[in-house]
Structure 1
Amino acid sequence: MRAMKDSGVLWIGNIPVDWKLVSVKRLFSIGRGRVIAQTELDETGYPVYSSQTKDNGCLGYLDTYDYDYPQLTWTTDGANAGSIFLRTGYYNCTNVCGTLSPIDDLVDLRYQKYALEHIAYNERRIDTNGYKIMNNEMAIIKTLLPPLSIQHQIADYLDIKCAQIDTIIAKEQSVIEKLQEYKRAIITQAITRGLNPSAKMKKNRPEWIGMVPEHWDVKKIKYLTSKIGSGKTPKGGSDVYTDEGVLFIRSQNVYNGYFDLSSVAFISHEIDSTMSNTRVYRNDVLLNITGGSIGRSCLYESDEPANVNQHVCIIRCNNQMKPKFMQYFWNSRIGKISIDIYQSGANREGLNFTEIGNILIPTPELYEQNQIIDYLDGKCGVINNVIQQKHSLINKLTEYKQSLIYEVVTGKKEVPHV
C-alpha cells in the first residue's frame, strides 16, 4: 500500500507522498473565449463552445476557428460554473469559457480534466446568478500533479471505466425517453378519443386534435377557467428567499405531472401578503410559460400555502373542467403542439394569458372526465414507477462514477495498467 500525506485541502484529502499540489497557473496559460453573438452561428462549420453542458457545450458553428490545439476549458459563471471540458481539433469558445493551455509537457490533459472536475466544483463561489470561477480565481486553485506516467495510467483507466458507465446511463436514459413518449401517447389517446372504442367519432378543428367522440365538445380554455394568470418575483429577487415560510414555486420546480422540490425556495408571510393575487391553491394547474421548460405542467395537490413567480401560470378550472383532466391535456401531444403553434412567431419567448385562453381542449362531460382521469392515473402510475426506478439507477451510477474519479485522481485507489 502506498504511503500517503495530508494534502491540506479538505475536498482532496490524503494523497500519495510523491504527488505534488500545484497552482493551476503554474501548469497552464489561462485565457478566455470571446463574445460570439447567436446571430453569427450556423449549422455547420467549426464548433462554438459555451456555458451549456448539453451537446458537450456546443452552441453552434462558425466557418472560422480560434483554436487548433488541445486544451481544457471551464465554464466561468452560471449554473454550470466549474464544469471542465477537454477540447481538441479546431474550435471556438465564447466569453463564458475560460481556457487552460498547458505550459509544458508535464501535464496529461485527460488526467487534469478528471482532477479539476472534482476540485473546481468545490472551489466555485456562490453568485447572484448561480456560481462563478473567474480567471483569477482559477489561477490560484490547487490541482494535483502525479508523475506523468501515473497521470497517463489514471487517464487510460478512467477513460475506459467512465465510458462503460456512460454507456449504461445512456441506455437507461433512452428507455426513460421511450417510456415518456409511450405515456404521452396513452394520455393523448384517452383525452382525444375517450375510453369507448366503439364511440362514434367526428372530425374536429383544429386538425391537430383529430377525431373526437361525437358527443364531446371542444372549447377554448378561457371558457373552462376562473383564472389564468402568473406570479411575480418579489422585490429584491433571490435575496429575499428564506429557508422556511411560504413555498415559492418557480419553473424549475414544475415538471410534467410532478413537482421537483430539490431546489425549492420560500418567501416570508409578510412578502406573501403583498402577492395575494398570485397565490396557489389546491387543484390549481401550473404551467411553465417561458424558457426551455415551457409547457411543463403539474397539478398542485396540497393545502400548504404557496405562491409562484412570473414564469409559471396559474390555471384555475371552473365547474366544467376537472383540473386533473386539464393537467393531462398539457402533458399530451396535442397540448405540446398547441404551445408550439403559439410559439411559432419570430423571437417568441413565451405564452401570454390571451394565447393560453384561446387554446382549444377536448371537453367531455364531467363523469367521463373522471373516468378518463382514473384510467390515466392507473396507467401512468405504473409507467412512472418504472421511470423512477430508472432514474434511481442513473443517480446511483452517476454517484459511483463521481466517487470512482475522486478515489483515483487523488491516489486513494491504485489503478492497474490498461
Structure 2
Amino acid sequence: MREMKDSGIEWIGLTPSMWANRRIKYVIKSRDSGLWGQDVKCEENGTICLRIADFDYSKGIFKDTPVDALTYRKYPSYVVDKCHLKKGDILIEKSGGGEKTPVGRTVLFDKPYIALFANFMDRIRVNTSVVMPQYLQYWFRAFYSCKMSPYYINQTTGIQNINLSRLLTKEKVFYPSLKDQKAIVSFLDIKCSEIDAISADIQKEIETLEQYKRSVITEAVTKGLNPDVEMKDSGAEWIGRVPNNWNLGRIGGFYSLRNEKVSDKDYPPLSVTMKGILPQLETAAKTNDGDNRKLVRKGDFAINSRSDRRGSCGISKYDGSVSLINTVLTPRGKMSAAYYDWVFHCTRFSDEFYRQGHGIVDDLWTTGWQEMKKIIIPVPPFLEQNEIADYLSSKCSDIDSVISQKNQQLETLSNYKKILIYEYVTGKKEVLI
C-alpha cells in the first residue's frame, strides 16, 4: 500500500506521498476568454466558424453535433484564430446561473473539427509536459462534484460569475507521473463509459415509460375505459373517435373566465407548472404593484398561455394569485374537475392549444381565452368522468413509482461515478499498471 500524507486541503484530504502538486496556474500554458456572439465571420476571408454550445456536462465532453448558425458578428481574423479550439483544451463555464448555465463546470474539447468558444467560457490550455489535459479535466470534475466552485462565485442569485483568477491561483492539483496519469485516465474512461452506457439504457426506459403514460392518458380521456364500446367521430382532429354515449362541447360552454386582478400581498402567490398549481417558493421575487396578479379560487383551472410553458396547467387546491400570463377559468356547472385536469394535461390537447395560438415568434406565441374557449373537448357522462379520473390517478401513480425508481438508479450511478473520479484523481485508490 502506498504511503499517504495530508494534502493540507480539506476537500482533497490524504494523497500519495510521492505525488507532486502545484497551483493550477502553474500547470497551464494559457487562459483566454471567448468571442461575444453566437457565430463568427472572419473579415478577411469570410470563413464561418461555429462555436460549440452543445456539450454534455455529465460526461465532461463535447457532444458530436455543433449548433446551427444563428447570427454573425465580424472580428479580425487574428482574434478568431486566437479563439480556435484545439484537442485537449478545457473550457470552464464562468458566467451564468441555474441548470442551463452551471457556473464552474468544465468540458474537454477532444474533437477533430475546428470550433470557437463564446464569451461566457474561458479556455485553459494545459502544459502537457506536466499534466495531461484529460487528467486535469477529471480533477476539475472532482472539484465541482465536491461543491467547491461556489466558494469562487461572486453572486449567489441572478447572473453568477466565477472568479477564475482566484480559483486558479489558490487551488492545487495533485498528480503522479505522466505514465500513471495516463493509466488513471484510461481506467476512468473505461469505467465512466460503462456507467454512462448503463445510465443511457435506464434513461431510455424512463422515456418509454413517460411515452406510455402519455398514451394511457390520451386513450382514457378520449376513448374511455371500455374497449368494446361503439364509437363515433368527434369532429375534432385532436380527439378523434369517442364513445357513442359521450357528448362534445366547447371549453367556453363549460368554463367562464375569471379575470379579477389582485395583489400577491393579499392573495398568496401560486405557480402554474407542469405538475399543477403549486405554492410559489418563498425565495421567488415579489412585486410592489398592487394589481399585478390574477385571482385564483380553489377548484379553478389555470393554464399558462405561453407556448414555452406548454403543459403548465392544473386545478387549484388553494385560494391565491397567479401571474397575468395565465388564463384562469371557473367551472360553470357540475363536472369532474379531476377528469378535465387530465384532459388538459393530455399531450394532444397541449398541441391543439398551441395550434390555436398566435404570435410573431415561438417564444412569444400565446393562446388567449378567445381562442381557447372555441376548442372542442369530450364530455363523458359525469359518473364516467369520475371513473376515468380515478383510473388515471391509480395507473399513472404506478407508472410514476417505476419512473421514480429508475431516476433513483440514475442518481446512484451518477454519485458512484463522482466518487470513482474523486478517489482516483486524489490517489485514494490506485490503478495497478
User: For the residues of structure 2 that align with 1:169 and 1:127, how far apart are their CA atoms?
Assistant: 31
Match of 2:366 among 348, 351, 363: 351
Report the residue type matching 2:124 in the other structure.
L
Residue 322 of structure 1 is matched in structure 2 by: 336
Cα deviation, residue 280, structure 1: 5.4
Residue 5 of structure 1 is matched in structure 2 by: 5
Cα deviation, residue 257, structure 1: 6.7
Q: Which structure 1 residue ranges, 5 or more long, are not aligned? A: 236-245
Cα deviation, residue 151, structure 1: 1.8
Deviation readout 1:205-237 (Å, 9 max, x if unpaired): 4323211234433333344334567999979xx
Cα deviation, residue 110, structure 1: 1.4
Cα deviation, residue 191, structure 1: 0.8
| Stretch deviating more after TM superposition (108-117 or 211-220) | 211-220
Cα deviation, residue 163, structure 1: 0.8
Residue 36 of structure 1 is matched in structure 2 by: 37
| Stretch deviating more after TM superposition (291-300 or 124-133) | 291-300
Deviation readout 1:30-87 (Å, 9 max, x if unpaired): 11221233899xxxx9763238758957661459995251201122222211221111
Correspondences of 1:386-401 after superposition (within 5 Å): 386-401=402-417
| Stretch deviating more after TM superposition (67-76 or 271-280) | 271-280
Report the residue type matching 1:408 in the other structure.
Y
Cα deviation, residue 288, structure 1: 5.0
User: For the residues of structure 2 that align with 1:356 and 1:39, how far apart are their CA atoms?
Assistant: 42
| Stretch deviating more after TM superposition (289-298 or 146-155) | 289-298
CA RMSD of aligned residues (A): 3.9
User: For the residues of structure 1 that align with 2:291 and 2:14, how far apart are their CA atoms?
Assistant: 52
Residue 53 of structure 2 is matched in structure 1 by: 50
Q: Secondary structure at the match of 1:85?
A: strand
User: CA, structure 1 residues 52+96, in 2 after alignment: closer, same or farther (shift >3 Å)?
Assistant: farther
Report the residue type matching 1:351 in the other structure.
T
Residue 377 of structure 1 is matched in structure 2 by: 393
User: CA, structure 1 residues 161+325, in 2 after alignment: closer, same or farther (shift >3 Å)?
Assistant: same
C-alpha contact 2:62 2:108 (8 A) present in aligned 1: no
C-alpha contact 1:67 1:91 (8 A) present in aligned 2: yes
Cα deviation, residue 167, structure 1: 0.8
Correspondences of 1:281-320 after superposition (within 5 Å): 282-285=298-301, 287=303, 289-290=305-306, 293-301=309-317, 308=322, 316-320=330-334
User: For the residues of structure 1 that align with 2:84 and 2:405, how far apart are their CA atoms?
Assistant: 43
Cα deviation, residue 296, structure 1: 4.0
Deviation readout 1:157-196 (Å, 9 max, x if unpaired): 1111111111111111100111111111111111111223
Report the residue type matching 2:204 in the other structure.
S
Residue 106 of structure 2 is matched in structure 1 by: 84
Residue 145 of structure 1 is matched in structure 2 by: 174
Q: Secondary structure at the match of 2:362?
A: coil
| Stretch deviating more after TM superposition (147-156 or 46-55) | 46-55
Cα deviation, residue 378, structure 1: 2.2
Q: Secondary structure at the match of 1:177?
A: helix
Correspondences of 1:142-221 after superposition (within 5 Å): 142-147=171-176, 148-221=178-251
User: CA, structure 1 residues 130+389, in 2 after alignment: closer, same or farther (shift >3 Å)?
Assistant: farther
| Stretch deviating more after TM superposition (380-389 or 54-63) | 54-63
User: For the residues of structure 2 that align with 1:296 and 1:163, how far apart are their CA atoms?
Assistant: 36
User: For the residues of structure 1 that align with 2:39 and 2:234, how far apart are their CA atoms?
Assistant: 40
Scaled by the length of structure 1, the TM-score of the pair is: 0.79
Q: How many positions carry a matched residue from both structures?
A: 395
User: CA, structure 1 residues 345+104, in 2 after alignment: closer, same or farther (shift >3 Å)?
Assistant: same
User: CA, structure 1 residues 279+234, in 2 after alignment: closer, same or farther (shift >3 Å)?
Assistant: closer
Deviation readout 1:83-126 (Å, 9 max, x if unpaired): 21111222222222221111342221111111112324522324
User: CA, structure 1 residues 309+166, in 2 after alignment: closer, same or farther (shift >3 Å)?
Assistant: farther
User: For the residues of structure 1 that align with 2:301 and 2:9, how far apart are their CA atoms?
Assistant: 48
Match of 1:338 among 346, 352, 355: 352
Deviation readout 1:278-317 (Å, 9 max, x if unpaired): 465554555455575532445555x6x7655567665554
| Stretch deviating more after TM superposition (282-291 or 364-373) | 282-291
Match of 1:132 among 156, 161, 171: 161
Match of 1:111 among 119, 127, 135: 135
Q: Secondary structure at the match of 2:401?
A: helix
C-alpha contact 2:301 2:328 (8 A) present in aligned 1: yes
Cα deviation, residue 411, structure 1: 1.4
C-alpha contact 1:204 1:212 (8 A) present in aligned 2: yes
Cα deviation, residue 334, structure 1: 1.0
Report the residue type matching 2:104 in the other structure.
G
User: CA, structure 1 residues 139+366, in 2 after alignment: closer, same or farther (shift >3 Å)?
Assistant: same
Is the counterpart of residue 73 in structure 1 residue 91 in structure 2?
yes
Residue 148 of structure 2 is matched in structure 1 by: 122
C-alpha contact 1:85 1:113 (8 A) present in aligned 2: yes
Residue 16 of structure 1 is matched in structure 2 by: 16
